[in-house]
Amino acid sequence: MDRMDDTLIDVPRGLTNVVAARTELGDVRGHEGFYHYRQYSAVDLARERTFDEAWHLLLFGALPGTDELEAFRARIAAARTIPEDVRALLPSIARLTAAGDALAGLRMALAAVAASDRIRPLYDESPVERLDDAVRAAAVTPVLLASLHALAEGREPLAPHDDLASVAGYLYLVTGRVPDREHERALSAYMTAAIDHGFNASTFTARVIASTGADLASAVGGALGALSGPLHGGAPSRALDTLDEIGTPDRTDEWVHRTLAEGGRVMGFGHAVYRTEDPRSRMLREFAEGLGGPRVEFAVQVERRVQELLAELKPGRELHTNVEFYAGVVMELCGLPRSMFTPTFAAARVVGWTAHILEQAADGKILRPSSRYVGPAAPQPLPARVPATS
């Protein structure tokens, strides 16, 4: 809400559609089924360019040429190294988060890296130092995630493969294999599409923390905390769980009717912003079909039938597949275990968060909204103190 002439103006619950800041990084136009990073369609970037190129665009405002991309990848490779004192902590962090809460493990590990690197508050840093922190955080995140995953499975973490670009290097660290071109391209498309998506809860959280002048790792840690919430982060693995529960195409109708009758949700369908088909889902379906296989054929059959049933059972609502439905299919085909689906999303989104953190830090204005008090009228006289009983 805003304050004008001492009168508070109400705004929608959840700040829906309230403009909280200006940004040059991108926008989501839900009614059009379109979103972009700076001046380019995010889906076009995901289809035709690499994750590292989109990362460069967010940080520097332009797509890199060949030499610039090579230099940027060298900078990323140099920023991937986990400090030795932090490496020694990772087994303990993995044990503490053995239940599979990779985001909690990442929060601890990133805070340790920041402490080891002696990063300073954004308020005290130059733009060059802030940029170094941003590249460092986004480059080391996938290495930390893959290392924690290996330790949780009782394996020794692999060292980064510096000859590989970011996505191929991440797949190598998680699976232990240098990926083929098709799998690298498919996962790159997903991760590029996941870099940024408007002022969602985690991005806004990162910007609020950055606006205080706190260090960049604290802002990323806050964003990770927001992402861990069930109402925000989502879970691509749940869409695969849906396919597993349905089992065969002939069971789709019965499963959907039973799930809705029990008050459940059909995971992978519907989106808070898009009133059309989620453009990310459409793009990932294309990559899934390019990889092929029975799982993909089944997913396409289920998608088609579920949309028909939802149109009948929930008329007037646009419930198309969202990004989670085919994201899970693509990540599974690329060799990622389900426990790494949400961490992979976070590894991509940290690029967007850090770009927003840099933009907010450059603004220099602390975010400080107002609230409407709705409690008992004030001031009231204090009640007499009740004497203590002996």
Concatenate the DSSP letters of all residues of 166-183 into one string: HHHHHHHHHHSSPPPHHH
User: 348-379: buried (b, 16+ CB within 10 Å) or exposed (e) per residue?
Assistant: bbbbbbbbbbbbbbeeeeeeeeeeeeeeeeee
Q: Angle at Cα 26 formed by Cα 30 and Cα 200, nearest 5°?
A: 60
Give the whole-angstrom CA distance, residue 266 versus residue 270: 9
183 catalytic? Reply is no
Half-sphere exposure in the Cβ direction for 115 (13 Å, CA): 11
DSSP 159: P
Sign of the four-CA dihedral 346, 352, 358, 360: negative
232 catalytic? Reply is no
How many helices (H) does the chain have, and how many strands (E)? 17, 5
Catalytic residue among 53, 184, 303, 324: 324
Q: Angle at Cα 306 formed by Cα 303 and Cα 309, nearest 5°?
A: 150
CA distances from 38 to 131, 162, 355 (A): 18, 29, 11
Q: What are phi and psi of 196, to 5 degrees?
A: -150, 150
DSSP 350: H
Return the structure tokens found at 280. Answer: 């990310």
Contacts of 177 (CB under 8 A, 6+ apart): 171, 335
Give the whole-angstrom CA distance, residue 319 versus residue 325: 12
Distance of CA 373 to the CA centre of its chain: 33
Give the whole-angstrom CA distance, residue 215 versus residue 357: 10
Q: Note whether 157 and 80 are within 8 A (CB).
A: no
Catalytic residue among 271, 320, 332, 356: 271
Give the residue numbers annotated as catalytic, written as ranges.
Answer: 271, 324
